[in-house]
Amino acid sequence: MKAEDVQGDLTEVLFSKEEIEAKIAELAAAVDADYQGRDVLLVGVLKGAVMVMADLCRALQGQYPMDWMAVSSYGSGTKSSGVVRILKDLDTDLSGRDVLIVEDIIDSGLTLSWLRANLESRRAASVEVCALLRKPEAAKTSIDVKYVGWDIPNEFVVGYGLDYDEKYRNLDCIATLAPHVYA
């Protein structure tokens, strides 16, 4: 789906399909350079990270096995509370593995800090994070995100895996959602 298909619902296209593709290639090159020759497990966080994972893993050189987790953050509405429930766990044993968490967006960072601690507690050799987007609140925290695509303003964004009420995930760009949609 393209921005034109849902034009009235969006206020601004932040990143086009082409810009996303270029950014993913940049992130993949950095990951390849850092991990060359190592056996790294990519851990995608469902569902938002599906597009990032699909494109990032194909832009990477060499073997990068992948696994998925689904988590839900307890809390009301659009704000995460940091209390996380695992809806789908990994199939892979992490002991001694290098792990790269692949995320769509980090907002408060609470979900990610929980996830990272959880994976570290499984005796992974290392746990790093690659997120396409990061909002200012998370940028201020001390969570160390090794690979970040873009820091974005504190607005609700959709597209490229990111949804509002399960809609707009299949939008090929990333855009800000018009307030009338969620009002």
As annotated, the active-site residues are: 107
Q: Among 51-59, 89-97, 122-130, 150-158, which window interacts with ligand XMP (CB under 6 A)?
A: 150-158
Nearest to 63 by CA among 86, 83, 40: 40
How long is the chain?
A: 183
Q: Is the dihedral of CA 25, 31, 34, 37 positive or negative?
A: negative
Return d(Cα 120, Cα 99) in angstroms, integer.
9
Secondary-structure breakdown of the chain: helix, strand, coil percentages, each rounded to the nearest 5: 30, 30, 35
In the region spanning residues 64 to 123, those forming contacts with Mg ion, defined by CB under 5 A, are 104
Residue 21 in contact with ligand XMP, rule: CB under 6 A: no
Choice between 96 and 136, CB closer to Mg ion:
136
User: Does the N-terminal peptide bond of residue 2 adopt cis geometry, omega within 30 degrees of 0?
Assistant: no
Which of ligand XMP, Mg ion, none interacts with 118 (beta carbon under 5 to 8 A by kind)?
Answer: none
Specify the residue, 40 or 132, whose C-beta has the smaller distance to ligand XMP: 132
* Of the candidate residues 44, 48, 109, 161, the single one contacting Mg ion (CB under 5 A): 48
156 binds ligand XMP (CB under 6 A): yes
Cβ 49 to Mg ion shortest distance, Å: 6
Q: Which CB, 64 or 160, lies closer to Mg ion?
A: 160
Instruction: Please tell me the distance from the alpha carbon of residue 78 to that of residue 74, in angstroms, as a whole number.
Output: 10
Taking residues 65 to 94 in sequence order and writing x for each that binds ligand XMP by CB under 6 A, - otherwise, the string is: --------x------x--------------
Q: By the 8 A CB rule, do 33 and 146 touch?
A: no
